[in-house]
Structure 1
Amino acid sequence: MKLYPIESGNFKLDGGAMFGVVPKTIWNRTNPADANNQIDMAARCLLIEDGKKLILIDTGMGNKQSDKFFGYYAMWGDHSIDKSLAKYGFNRDDITDVFLTHLHFDHVGGAIQWNKDRTGYETAFKNAHFWTNDNHWEWATQPNAREKASFLTENIMPMQESGQLKFIERPQGDFKENSELGFGILFADGHTEKQMLPHLKFMGKTFVYMADLLPTAGHIPLPYVMGYDTRPLLTIDEKAKFLNAAADNNYHLILGHDAHNEIITVQHTEKGVRLKDVLTWSDVLTGY
């Protein structure tokens, strides 16, 4: 197995929304805000090369929305999925599977694009299966009022209409090994219903793609929960259980939304689980 970071684009979000009840005087130390109270965000995806499979974890926002839409998110930098794939010698048509941690627009938008004459939409990865789970699909296609603005029909329905959509079977508990994709999946319900976090064995270590259970390194303390989460108290419980396991087992946590920290490890301290090491992909590949 080989892993590659795929940078699909950077943006900004309101820092208060990202940290919920935590005061700005505290979160601003780790995630400094600009004059508009916005903090730097990444849409860092992950590419898994495993035998004949080339699996893309999440897709970022894509580029099909209006200038007005993107204006809300203060896009910055020059990253794109195509540039990132080309860096490693791949293109969109090489992707065999797109695994979606959940269907919020900043994770799934890049899965769908305009067709050639811009009269409708088509999948952006024509040779890939798109993976979600039936609980989350129902949650996204019949959205609650809180999340409705994050579940955009044009990002979701074309996957089903194309015939490329596949569902992952739900586990009895919260973790499941998936033989078709070749990695374990942790299911978490605090941010949104049945978010899925891949657990990958790589270079003798366990790497976990954190999606929105832990968006940035600044979110490690348990009360630091996003205002976007639908069940914040459940997020705290899920995060506590996961971070304890991560500290016990030296998991390497791939941060999808942290624009300045790619991979971290955590450790037990007198104050609870806290940051241990900040690593780059170069560190990991050279054995640091």
Structure 2
Amino acid sequence: MSNKRLRAVFLVSLLVLAVFASMVVLFSSMEEDTESLPRIHPRSVATEEVTGEVKRQAAVRVTHVTDATGSAPELWKNFEASFGTGFEPQWREGLLASIRATNGKLRNPNARAAQSGFESQDSEQVLARARELLAALELLVGVEAELPLEGPVVRVGDISAHIFFQETWRGIPIEPLGKVSIDLGSNGELRGFDSTYVRGLRIKNQVGFSMEEGRIKALSWFYRSQPEKQGVQVAGGKQIIWVSGQNGWHAYEYFVRGYQIVIDAMTGELLYGRSARSA
């Protein structure tokens, strides 16, 4: 082979090696750039929900309200210091559910009376005493600012009085839970307390039609379940938040011939239907 051919082969070999080396460097650089980019992960399903103006985390962990404000035993001792000992509190998921006299007694002899001059027949005095008790217990009950207890109903008597508060969401009553009741003796002493307060409520729908349209849907369900009672009318109607666990739905509540009917205010589906007489 001539010197010219050998020189040409040598030059071609050098050129091939140079190209190969360039490609190796290029690919190595691309891999390094890729490693430095943030990794994109698929978004988890339903991490949040938007309901009108309300945006809440889908998974809300209900913690004891006293985690941040003090222990339940400390708060309970403060309550006893003001309203007497000898009470037996009952708890539900870390929150106060009821208060009774110790050992199931009807009355607690250690319960402190209200200020002198208290009259259990005076609705204003009764309500003021109930609010005083509720203010002392609201941390143990877990009352939240956006879910206030409103619309007190007062029932007075010679030897006792009863007060009922309703939990609401933006002024709409919560059903069938969300109730707080307080029983007072003739001197304003606490005789009983019960709470089904709902904490950490998540609203799951919006209002999609009027209460009058809901009335038609309620009648339709009633006629299907009670075909022999065609022609009856729906009594009343009320907008509510129907609660199951911590989830709440905008709904309409009606009563038809003793039947309680609750209609989803967005889909029109039946949320609850039962004879009030058998409830």
TM-score range, shorter chain: under 0.3
> Greater RCO between the two (CA within 8 Å, min separation 6)?
1
- Normalized per residue, which structure has more helix? 2
Structure number with greater Rg is 2
